[in-house]
Amino acid sequence: MDNRPIGFLDSGVGGLTVARELMRQLPHEEIIYIGDSARAPYGPRPAEQIREYTWELVNFLLTKDVKMIVVACNTATAVAWEEIKDSLSIPVLGVILPGSSAAIKSTTKGHIGIIGTPMTIASNIYEQKIKALAPQMEVLSLSCPKFAPLVESNEMNSSVAKKVVYESLAPLVGKVDTLVLGCTHYPLLRPIIQNVMGPQVKLIDSGAECIRDVSVLLNYFQLNRSREVSTVKHRFYTTANPGSFKAIADQWFDQKIEVEHVDLSQLDNQIEME
Ligand code: DGL
């Protein structure tokens, strides 16, 4: 048993889609979440900057004594997951491997689409991981730089969002049977994405898939939180204005949460070796 919380990080509100899955699949576990909305989106930034920012968020979570870290951001996973995982003594999970395996399981014709931020798509990491497991798969990747900013500004239900998603996904329509939502912000646009791609296309939520792995690791390392601890108090932090983060989170979780502001000057990007 280990009653410490599980740390989640993202460039902003996208990781909330992963956190909601944790609440659903593992309701006894407690979450410490940090979203770097002040510097989102990460996707168009250079790899070295994304790596530095990601370490700052990891170090923040380590000060909160977490028992495991979920890198609930595909962009940060693509750039820094291996390095973070190799440096820390606690388990660190990313969202890309679970999404890749789920896509292989789901596809019927072997035609898999990947959508993600400019960095995730440029890294080609999904295609590499999918082909390493199943070389016969055909993978079509598409960068969608406008999606995460739409979500960060809480415009995911607007007519602008519908137009942007419709225009951006046009190159993939009719070409894939499975589409990986390779950015944790995208499940917040899921109804529009499904509508554009058509009901026959299976959408893979890489974050939700990752929580299955969290559960396996908690069992394997005997890190589950005791069911005798009756209170579960999640804590959410953002580097931006807590108001807009809270508006999106309350809607997504369908319950009121408390959000605290963390100033960027409080973050430290030293690489932590445990
Ligand atoms: N949520 C992030 C991801 O999964 C990144 C969005 C962004 O900041 O560009 O890739």
Interval 194-209 mean pLDDT: 96
Tokens found for residue 4: 């410490």
**Does 243 belong to an annotated binding site?**
no
pLDDT number for residue 228: 84
pLDDT(194) > 60: yes
CA of 14 to the centre of ligand 1 (A): 7
The set of catalytic residues is 73, 183
Sign of CA dihedral 24, 226, 97, 141: positive
**pLDDT tens figures, 10-61:** 999 999 999 999 999 999 999 999 999 999 999 999 999 999 999 999 999 9
Mean pLDDT taken over the chain: 96
Backbone angles phi, psi at 128, to 5 degrees: -60, -45
**Does 113 belong to an annotated binding site?**
no
Query: Per CATH, the architecture of 6-94+208-266 is what?
Result: 3-Layer(aba) Sandwich (3.40)
Return the CATH number of the domain spanning residue range 96-206. 3.40.50.1860
Sign of CA dihedral 140, 141, 147, 152: positive
Backbone angles phi, psi at 111, to 5 degrees: -110, 105
CA distance 206 to 95: 6
CA distance 140 to 175: 9
Per-residue burial over 53-66, b = 16 or more CB atoms within 10 Å of its CB, e = otherwise: bbbbbbebbbeeeb
Residues sharing a CB contact under 8 Å with residue 23, sequence separation 6 or more, in sequence order: 31, 234, 253
CA of 29 to the centre of ligand 1 (A): 24
Decide whether any atom of ligand 1 lies within 6 Å of the 14 Cβ: yes
**pLDDT tens figures, 224-246:** 999 887 789 999 999 999 999 99
Single-letter amino acid code for the residue at 69: I
pLDDT(272) > 80: no
Give the global pTM: 0.96
- CATH 3.40.50.1860 in the chain, residues? 6-94+208-266, 96-206
Decide whether any atom of ligand 1 lies within 6 Å of the 152 Cβ: no
State the DSSP H helix or E strand holding residue 217, giving kind and residue range, or none if neither.
Answer: helix 206-220
pLDDT number for residue 268: 82
